[in-house]
Amino acid sequence: MARIPKKRWQTTDIYFDDYSPTATIFTYNYKLKKKLHKFAQEHPECCELKEEYTDGGVKYKVEKSRMSIRFISPCSEEKKEMYRNIINSINNKEGDSM
């Protein structure tokens, strides 16, 4: 029986180069594994399971054109305050209707 690595060693690795149209994703992350599994079932032409490891890791081959990486800028304090006010007003309205 394979030993499951400690949480700190459970990495997600994404390998791709400029030449190949596909990327390889290796992960232990539960949510990412579920997303990849669902995507592979719905779009087998774009994503396929390459290997499932006994320690819980999986390796998928995915078309690079189906992936994206987002960088999200932090919110300013003004926007955070605005969002807090909106949420508070929604919560207050819900509390009044009960």
27-86, pLDDT tens digit by residue?
A: 999 999 999 999 999 999 999 999 999 989 999 999 999 999 889 889 899 999 999 999
CA distance 27 to 37: 12
Residue 9 has pLDDT above 90, yes or no: no
Answer yes or no: is pLDDT of 90 > 60.
yes
Mean pLDDT across 12-16? 94
Closest of 30, 31, 75, 67 to residue 47, by C-alpha: 67
pTM: 0.70
Q: Tokens for 64, please give them.
A: 């690079």
In Å, what is the CA distance from 14 to each residue of 11, 48, 58, 73? 10, 15, 12, 22
DSSP reduced 3-state for 26: strand
